[in-house]
Amino acid sequence: MAKLPIITAPDPRLRRKCAPVEAVDKTVRRLMDDMLETMYAAPGIGLAAPQVGIARRVVVVDIAREDEERAPYRMANPEVVEASDTLAEYEEGCLSLPQYYEEVMRPDRARIRYLDETGEPREVEVEGMLATCIQHEIDHLDGILFVDHISKLKRDMILRKLAKAKRAEAMAGA
Ligand code: GNR
Ligand code: NI
């Protein structure tokens, strides 16, 4: 397994619509494992392929706490097939928007369809934090970031600060 570099905003690679995986082959399984290693090291509870520069519909998620046994999901082509009308608000963060956290409203339950690491089609009912996390990851596959769900004022402020931090970083490195 290998730890991959995580892309941070602003970066056009975070704004692309990712293509479906045609088959869950060895390359895809390897990517899923590398993404899990990257996510656990970060640490994070989810990671989408575009965050490591791969424009494919692949996500990994594990919301188990550190004192619990690992419970990873490896998902190819995940989609929300049904979402509750009831919404829940969670404070979200994103490894691609480091150090910014905001409350986001999303459906609190959802049915998710995906292909597992063996290529088997699966459906799961999720709720709470897991539902939030999977929806956040599926958004990434469509170039959507959690700040797209908050006010334009807050979004612009966060993206502007991240752009400024990147420019400062580039100047320091030059
Ligand atoms: O680690 C993460 N925590 C998190 C917290 C609340 C809602 C969503 C997330 S996902 C995030 C990791 C990440 O950026 N995944 O794309
Ligand atoms: Ni994210």
pTM of the model: 0.98
Of ligand 1's listed atoms, the one at least distance from the Cα of 136 is 8
Q: How far apart are CA 136 and CA 156, in angstroms?
A: 19
Average pLDDT estimate for 105-130: 98
CA distances (Å), origin 5, targets 39, 93, 106, 128: 10, 18, 28, 29
Q: Closest Cα to residue 75, out of 14, 24, 127, 40?
A: 24
Model pLDDT, residue 34: 98
Model pLDDT, residue 173: 84
Q: Closest Cα to residue 11, out of 56, 52, 44?
A: 52
Q: What percent of the chain has pLDDT over 90?
A: 97
Average pLDDT estimate for 99-127: 98
pLDDT tops 80 at residue 29: yes
Q: How far apart are CA 117 and CA 57, in angstroms?
A: 13
Model pLDDT, residue 174: 73
Model pLDDT, residue 38: 98
Of ligand 1's listed atoms, the one at least distance from the Cα of 140 is 16
Query: Is 137 an active-site residue?
Result: yes
pLDDT tops 90 at residue 84: yes
Average pLDDT estimate for 49-67: 97
Q: How far apart are CA 60 and CA 43, in angstroms?
A: 13
Q: How much distance in Å is there from the Cα of 97 to the middle of ligand 1?
A: 10
pLDDT tops 90 at residue 1: no
Return the structure tokens found at 8. Answer: 């941070």
Q: What percent of the chain has pLDDT over 70?
A: 100
Specify the DSSP class assigned to residue 91.
Answer: E
Q: Are 49 and 58 in contact (CB under 8 A)?
A: yes
User: Of the listed 37, 89, 137, 169, which one is catalytic?
Assistant: 137
CA distances (Å), origin 10, targets 80, 96, 98, 107: 26, 9, 11, 27
**159 band by pLDDT with thresholds 50, 70 and 90:** very high
Contacts of 81 (CB under 8 A, 6+ apart): 111, 112, 113, 123
pLDDT tops 90 at residue 125: yes
**137 band by pLDDT with thresholds 50, 70 and 90:** very high
Instruction: Write the residue with the smallest CA distance to atom 14 of ligand 1.
Output: 94
Average pLDDT estimate for 88-109: 98
Q: How far apart are CA 38 and CA 52, in angstroms?
A: 9
Instruction: Write the residue with the smallest CA distance to atom 6 of ligand 1.
Output: 92
